[in-house]
Structure 1
Amino acid sequence: MRSKLSSRSESSVRTRGCTHLERHVPAYREYLLGRGNVAGYVRSCEAAVMHFSMWMHQTNLGLADVDETLVVEFLKGHLPQCNCETSARHPACVRAALAHLLVVLREAGAIRPKPQDETAVGEELRRYDQYMTQVRGLAPKTREGALRLVGALLRKHFGDGDIRFEVLTAEHVRHFFALQAKNYSTPSSLGAVVASLRSYFRWRASLGDRTHALVGALAYPANWQLASLPKSLEPAEVEQLEAALGQSGPSMLRADAIVRCALDLGMRSSEIAHLNLDDIDWEAGTITLRRTKGRREDVMPLPDATGRAIALYLRNERPKTQHRMVFARHMTPRERPIGPDLVRKTIRQAYARAGLAHTRSHLLRHTMASRLLAGGSSLKEVADVLRHRSLNTTLIYAKLDSSRLVEVALPWPGTSRNVSMTLRHRAS
């Protein structure tokens, strides 16, 4: 069944229709080309589809059998011992090609829709996801993490059966939390586990379930968020970074615009990646952030330096794409917008070009807060610019406001009033 195909057998498979997949190849090709993929990548994907089709013919499978399970069987069962006369056998490339194929076939109605988890846990997770979306307005990444944790807990104790909270004890929850703690390295990340599970149990309590004891079984780990000063760039480092902008080379205009968005506006990596052309009002000189962590829209003034950097990129470097995102991929597939990872990578590379040892893109957000405080802005104004939901999130920057902290500083025991006044004068 999995012996080496001869040229004659391959030709025979093509003649007999390759399990009816061939009729969808034109739509498959159009789908890939329409998303900015180069011709070479499209050809490699088509070769992977033909390889998959030949294997299906050998195993007497038809188009109706195609789904995720069959793709996994092909990838894990056939590819490791494949002797077929084809070069399309690299697992990662074939996996990506067949993922595109499933999308095209489902859009054409040629195969069954993606199966849903019909168990009680699957239905519960869909209901909870709807609640997190419509009631709490949580971001997709937050919902995804919460569903993964809640699903793991429920499947561990109920499997495919009904969910019965009367048999789920506080000890069960504490044991599950202890197991999860092995996968997280920081108190803040482990605190997200507590928040996800507590939120779920409170939701169930609002529906009438007795889950209050389960909420109390989870305690947040000690996390001294205000124990240290938030790290930011020194003024000299900011000048060093700005001096390194404007270099020539591939994607340098995009890099300059991304750095300016983070440094001048304090934008998060995800906000930069999701910035849309329609979010910029060039006449009014404003920028609207619509896809923020706080799930709200914020209108901010567009600084001249930032606007010039974005305009230069749009005029001279941005490739033509069908999507409206400001920052586009410069390599195929160009129709796929960039993600936060590319933004973070771009900022790391900008640090390196400037000769700075920093790596975290979030430093630029902290730097903006420090510069605002140094310029006399209040914590409330900093919170508004950084778009914090709660003022408590901004309190970490209070320790950077030395001009105001000195006003409440008490004299050191044993020192004179004159010494204290001298220290205050130096701070101001």
Structure 2
Amino acid sequence: MSTFHLPHCAYADWIVAGPIAPHADAIKQHFADGRYALSTVASYLSNIAHFARWARSKRLRLCRIDEVSVTEFLDEHLPHCRCAQPVRHDRRDHRAALGHLLFVLRARGVVTLPVKSAKPVDEELRRFDAYMDRVRGLAPKTRSQVLRIVGRLLRQRLGDGVVDIASIKPAHVRSFYAQQAKLHCKPGGAGSVVAALHSYFRYRSSLGDQVHALIGAVSAPANWRLATLPKALTAQELEQLVSSLGRPGRSMRRADAIVRCAMDLGLRSGEVARLKLDDIDWRAGTITLRHTKGLREDVLPLPASTGEAIAAYLKSERPQTSNRAVFVRHIAPHDEPVGPDLIRKTIRQAYGRAGLAYTRSHLLRHTMANRLLAGGSSLKEVADVLRHRALSTTQVYAKLDSRSLVEVALPWPGSAS
């Protein structure tokens, strides 16, 4: 166990006198292991001490500390706090600090994990979530959105009763869709409601339920998926982006390697975040993608520019860590891999440094498809590189294939050629 020296917390006596006193050292050690800055730890400990004082005043036993008590503290005590100054009142900082507190207490086995609801609808949603994860390979954010929509329908129609799909009629589905469409005002929002409902009904169909009438009860709003051109960087914009790489600065080598992975390999943000050191074969010049959206492993050639950017990051900037992820956090908590959100943020920042008014990281994937087509690759080859499960997904890029479109273009009426 590492030694952790921390300036005396202004409210240390609140921790010692409260229900979490036996675990105060373990909490400090948790922050030491994550290599948090002393100022951050001091702030978190003061917030935990504030909660400990409140818990003592409520005579809250240690085993009763959970998300419910934390929410009660944040919602009822913090806005009207009259504790001795200088107590902080920042809700976000308190929530973050108490999240660490719950993690430590559960790791030590003194606080139980949240009890999963045994209501029939909640159990049904867990089974449906497992199906979307293991069978369809949907991303966590996609599954979460689908579960929210389907959960609203099931709770509205079934309440706390058993899940009887036969009790849901097409009229119920249409009425529910009309309600939800008003809540999803963004472009494509209503379509996401239909997609979620259809996904659940198809799942029930796989279990043998007769749900064809429910599937046909609502249809997706008109959305001409192939009506617009997929946005991609122009050759000049791509050159701007490439020219902006290689700048000195904090975490810049990691940023260069991330941009190269998206630009040269067309990787999704989640795929970049999940890369492991063992996935790169430096001798063979290949990189293996595991746990992809297509639920398969793919081996891709590693371009020299991408390999050089990754190698520069590994040699000169990657922190010492036992974690096998290629891209790891440079700030606390250390020894943890980065997430997809940081990958997207890094690419957005790269656009800004290059003077490009773009924000979507997926733009680099479209750009790669455009470059492949411009270089003479077929749609099938583009589909293989992008790892699409169906060629129809790649068809949208056909309109970017200027070389082939010229050959099939008809002369303008009345023109000489």
Query: What TM-score results when the alignment is normalised by the length of structure 1?
Result: 0.88
Q: Distance in 2 between matches of 1:91 and 1:336?
A: 25
Question: 1:212 is matched with which residue?
Answer: 212
Deviation at 1:35, TM superposition (A): 2.8
Q: Report the AA paired with residue 158 of structure 1.
A: L
> For 2:299, what is the secondary structure of its paired residue?
strand
1:361 paired to 2:381: no
Conserved? CA contact 1:181–1:190, under 8 Å: yes
The aligned residue for residue 3 of structure 1 is none
- 1:16-415 matches, within 5 Å, as 17-19=17-19, 21-85=20-84, 87-185=87-185, 188-415=188-415
Residue aligned with 2:407, SS: helix
Matched residues in 2 for 1:188 and 1:110: separation?
46
Cα deviation digits, residues 339-378 of structure 1 (max 9, x gap) = 2222222222222222223332222111111111111100
Shift of 1:186: 5.0
Contact 2:15–2:48 (8 Å) recurs in 1: no
Deviations 1:75-95 (A, max 9, x none): 111111112235343211111
8 Å CA contact 1:25, 1:46 repeated in 2: no
1:133/1:352 Cα in 2 relative to 1: closer, same or farther (>3 Å)? closer
Q: Secondary structure at the match of 2:196?
A: helix
**Hey, what's the Cα distance between the residues in 2 that align with 1:120 and 1:372?**
50
* Change over 3 Å in CA distance of 1:244–1:324 after alignment to 2: same
Structure 1 CA distance for aligned equivalents of residues 287 and 358 of structure 2: 28
Cα contact 1:169–1:214 (8 A) shared by 2: yes
- Separation in 2, partners of 1:358, 1:97: 35
Identity %: 57
User: Normalization by structure 2: what TM-score?
Assistant: 0.91
Could you tell which deviates more after superposition, 247-256 or 131-140?
131-140
CA RMSD of superposed structures (Å):
2.1
Go from structure 1 to structure 2 and tell me whether the alpha carbon gap of 1:13 and 1:355 turns closer, same or farther (over 3 Å shift).
closer
Provide the C-alpha distance between the structure 2 equivalents of 1:56 and 1:291, rounded to a whole number of angstroms: 43
Give the direction of change, closer, same or farther, for the CA distance of 1:81–1:157 in structure 2 (3 Å limit): same
Q: Which amino acid letter does the alignment assign opposite residue 42 of structure 2? A: R
- Give secondary structure in 2 for the equivalent of 1:200: helix
Asked which structure has the greater CA Rg, the reply is 1
The Cα of 1:249 is off from its aligned counterpart by 1.6
Counterpart secondary structure, 1:287: strand
Are residues 177 and 317 of structure 1, via their aligned partners in 2, closer, same or farther at CA, if it must alter by over 3 Å? Answer: same
Aligned mates of 2:359, 2:14 — CA distance in 1: 53
Task: Indicate conservation of the 8 Å contact 1:35/1:333, yes or no.
Answer: yes
**Which runs of 5 or more residues in structure 1 are unaligned?**
1-9, 420-428
CA contact (8 A) 1:187 1:221 kept: no
- Give the C-alpha shift of residue 208 in structure 1: 3.7
Unaligned runs of 5+ in 2: 1-10
Alpha-carbon distance, 1:189 to partner = 4.5
Q: Secondary structure at the match of 2:82?
A: coil
Residue identity matched to 1:297: E
Q: 1:385 to 1:185 in 2, by over 3 A?
A: farther
Give the secondary-structure state (helix, strand or coil) at the position aligned to 2:323.
coil
Cα shift at 1:217 = 0.8
Q: What is the alpha-carbon distance in structure 1 between the residues aligned to residue 354 and residue 125 of structure 2?
A: 47
CA contact (8 A) 1:121 1:162 kept: yes
* Number of the residue aligned with 1:7: none
SS of corresponding position for 1:288: strand
Residue deviations 1:26-46 (CA, integer Å, cap 9, x gap): 222222332332233223222
> What letter is aligned with 1:410?
L
> 2 CA distance for matches of 1:204 and 1:359?
38
Further displaced range: 335-344 or 307-316: 335-344
After superposition, give the CA deviation of every residue in 1:182-209 in whole Å (9 maximum; x if it has no partner).
3434554433322221121122233343
Going from structure 1 to structure 2, the CA distance change for 1:11 and 1:208 (only over 3 Å counts) comes to: closer
Q: Is the 8 A contact 1:240 1:354 kept in 2?
A: yes
Match of 2:3? none
8 Å Cα contact 2:276/2:325 also seen in 1: yes
Once structures 1 and 2 are overlaid, which stretch shifts more, 176-185 or 305-314?
176-185
**How big is the shift at 1:14?**
5.8
SS in 1 for 2:59: coil
Larger deviation: 70-79 or 287-296? 287-296
* Aligned residues of 1:45 and 1:97 also touching (Cα < 8 A): yes
Which range moves more in the overlay, 365-374 or 317-326? 317-326
Larger deviation, residues 201-210 vs 279-288? 201-210
Equivalent residues of 1:291, 1:297 under 8 A apart:
yes
- Distance in 2, matches of 1:11 and 1:380, equals 65
**Whole-angstrom CA distance in 2 between matches of 1:273 and 1:344:** 10
